[in-house]
């Protein structure tokens, strides 16, 4: 437990910075990303790129099998300069139909080099940032007021749509990494960056007006305007001098959520400074929502950090209302997500195959016809499902498919409403995940195992009927697990036995801890 804590503390400032950087970066990146996408589209029209389409097919196949899991390769670069990148996950609803419910949200990650500065911009989306690593200063101009805040690993900050925002990595040696959730409010699932201050790269929105309008608006000659808005060409992320970083820091505060709800307080909070809402030797859960963090109130989003001790796991649970969008901050492990949709799709798939056989081979016709057929099949299938219980149909059993996702730093996974999930840390490292839960209000985490398992709360008779077993038998099983929230992981038991059997010369737990601490210290 001590190890877990230490690890979290060291990673959190970094995380905050990262988040911030990401937030800023994401804005900047987006516009160039969209441009890149357009270019790619145009290229595609001119030349056939076999490799790309193969890769796309592979990705599509993967997203069919694991629609809730996105590896590092699922990100596109939205902006890049010598001093940092902004990467962006493509819109969820484009990745899978099953993710339509979060089509308004996007995930971006900003990585800013030491002393990098992300240019001032506004976006047509709200953004909620979590600093994964490093430290920096975030500034927003909102309602005519400029506010600057210091952020570090664990900081959560909100930049409302339209507010001019900029960010600097204030550390001279470490990267700043920020993971951001963007809430799009204009074009669902798409966001754009708008640079006012700037020059040629990124292009300034100001210099995009006609010359005559610019002259009239600024009451200045075209020459002087061109000089001012035609110079900067180093991209969205540039490098600041030490002096400039000091200047940016001068008016920055730490954010003052400690007065909430008694006074007006704004600015980021550090989630790792909060008391964990669940904590034991197997893990801790830190949370920020509208109650603890005013800025989140209007977004209906909860941000949490889960730290699972090496070899431990979260208790299986589901969310009653929230859709969880998770980003792996550090460590390794895996998640299991139980999904009825995929099982239904599979049944559907085998059903239509059978149907095709009966219908004979009419398959080599034109595409259009094929898709018409498909939708006909789909409709037949749907109708049959609706009739379901009346006609004896073989496919009416409720079944689930388990999606197993390998988790490493940078993996994103989504857990839809009601879907049970478990997260397991590898034996070698703590697993840290930042979660953005949308539709947070009145959401409840319901545990399926552990001391506060919902199954324990069933009526005695309901237990007997549901399990076809005596109440005592049922209770015996349900009471065996005494921990709650975080539990011992699947491998630990076995490992402990093995450790006991093996000789003393072997690496002990204590040495592992020391090694981990050392790694933490040197990684920074």
List residues near Cu ion by CB under 5 A: 339, 341
- Of 127, 121, 125, the C-alpha closest to 141 is 121
Minimal distance, residue 400 CB to Cu ion, in Å: 9
CB contact at 8 A, 119 and 198: yes
* Cα–Cα distance for residue pair 284/1, rounded to 1 Å: 9
Question: Looking at beta carbons only, is 33 or 334 nearer to Cu ion?
Answer: 334
Question: Looking at beta carbons only, is 341 or 385 nearer to Cu ion?
Answer: 341
Phi, psi of 270 (to 5 degrees): -105, 115
Question: Looking at beta carbons only, is 36 or 418 nearer to Cu ion?
Answer: 418
Question: Looking at beta carbons only, is 214 or 319 nearer to Cu ion?
Answer: 319
Minimal distance, residue 419 CB to Cu ion, in Å: 6
Question: Looking at beta carbons only, is 296 or 339 nearer to Cu ion?
Answer: 339
Residue positions counted in the chain? 524
CB contact at 8 A, 312 and 282: yes
* Cα–Cα distance for residue pair 93/416, rounded to 1 Å: 13
* Cα–Cα distance for residue pair 344/148, rounded to 1 Å: 50
* Cα–Cα distance for residue pair 131/12, rounded to 1 Å: 7
Minimal distance, residue 424 CB to Cu ion, in Å: 20
Q: Give the DSSP per-residue string, 26-57.
A: HHHHHHHHHHHHHHHHHHHHHS--HHHHHHHH
Question: Looking at beta carbons only, is 341 or 384 nearer to Cu ion?
Answer: 341
* Cα–Cα distance for residue pair 24/285, rounded to 1 Å: 27
Minimal distance, residue 415 CB to Cu ion, in Å: 9
Minimal distance, residue 349 CB to Cu ion, in Å: 15
Minimal distance, residue 418 CB to Cu ion, in Å: 9
Question: Looking at beta carbons only, is 339 or 407 nearer to Cu ion?
Answer: 339
Are β-strands 486-488 and 193-194 bridged in parallel, bridged antiparallel, or unpaired?
A: unpaired
Question: Looking at the DSSP assignment, which residues form a beta bridge with residue 123?
Answer: 193
Minimal distance, residue 338 CB to Cu ion, in Å: 8
């Amino acid at each position: 437990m001590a190890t877990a804590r230490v690890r979290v503390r060291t990673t959190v400032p970094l995380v905050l910075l990262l988040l911030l950087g990401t937030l800023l970066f994401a804005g900047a990146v987006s516009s160039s990303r969209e441009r890149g996408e357009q270019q790619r589209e145009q290229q595609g029209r001119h030349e056939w790129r076999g490799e790309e389409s193969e890769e796309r097919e592979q990705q599509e196949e993967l997203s069919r099998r694991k629609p809730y899991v996105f590896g590092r390769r699922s990100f596109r670069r939205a902006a890049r300069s010598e001093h940092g990148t902004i990467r962006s996950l493509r819109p969820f609803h484009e990745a899978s139909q099953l993710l339509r419910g979060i089509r308004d949200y996007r995930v971006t990650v900003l990585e800013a080099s030491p002393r990098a500065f992300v240019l001032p911009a506004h976006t047509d989306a709200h953004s909620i940032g979590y600093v994964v690593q490093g430290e920096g200063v975030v500034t927003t101009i909102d309602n005519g007021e400029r506010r600057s805040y210091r952020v570090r690993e664990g900081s959560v900050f909100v930049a409302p749509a339209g507010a001019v925002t900029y960010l600097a990595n204030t550390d001279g040696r470490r990267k700043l990494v920020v993971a951001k959730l963007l809430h799009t409010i204009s074009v669902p699932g798409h966001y754009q960056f708008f640079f006012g201050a700037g020059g040629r790269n990124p292009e300034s929105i100001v210099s995009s007006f006609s010359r005559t309008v610019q002259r009239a608006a600024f009451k200045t000659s075209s020459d002087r305007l061109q000089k001012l808005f035609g110079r900067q060409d180093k991209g969205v992320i540039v490098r600041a001098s030490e002096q400039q970083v000091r200047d940016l820091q001068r008016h920055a505060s730490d954010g003052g959520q400690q007065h909430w709800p008694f006074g007006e307080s704004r600015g980021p909070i550090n989630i790792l400074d909060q008391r964990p809402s669940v904590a034991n030797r197997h893990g801790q859960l830190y949370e920020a929502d509208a109650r603890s963090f005013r800025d989140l109130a209007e977004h209906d989003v909860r941000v949490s950090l889960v730290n699972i001790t090496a070899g431990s796991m979260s208790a299986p649970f589901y969310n009653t209302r929230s859709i969880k969008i998770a980003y792996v901050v550090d460590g390794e492990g895996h998640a299991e997500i139980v999904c009825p949709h995929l099982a239904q799709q599979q049944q559907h798939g085998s059903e239509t195959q059978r149907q095709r056989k009966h219908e004979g081979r009419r398959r080599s016709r034109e595409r259009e016809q094929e898709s018409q057929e498909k939708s006909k099949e789909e409709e037949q299938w749907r109708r049959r499902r609706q009739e379901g219980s009346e006609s004896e149909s073989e496919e009416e059993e409720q079944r689930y498919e388990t999606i197993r996702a390998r988790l490493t730093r940078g993996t994103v996974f989504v857990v839809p409403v009601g879907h049970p999930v478990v997260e397991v840390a590898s034996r070698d490292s703590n697993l840290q995940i930042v979660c953005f839960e949308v539709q947070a209000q009145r959401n409840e985490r319901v545990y399926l195992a552990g001391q506060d398992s919902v199954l324990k709360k069933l009526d005695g008779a309901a237990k007997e009927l549901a399990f076809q077993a005596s109440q005592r038998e049922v209770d015996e099983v349900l009471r065996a697990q005494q921990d709650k929230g975080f539990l011992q992981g699947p491998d630990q038991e076995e490992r402990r036995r093995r450790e006991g059997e093996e000789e003393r010369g072997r690496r002990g737990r204590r040495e592992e801890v020391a090694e981990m601490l050392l790694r933490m210290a040197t990684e920074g």
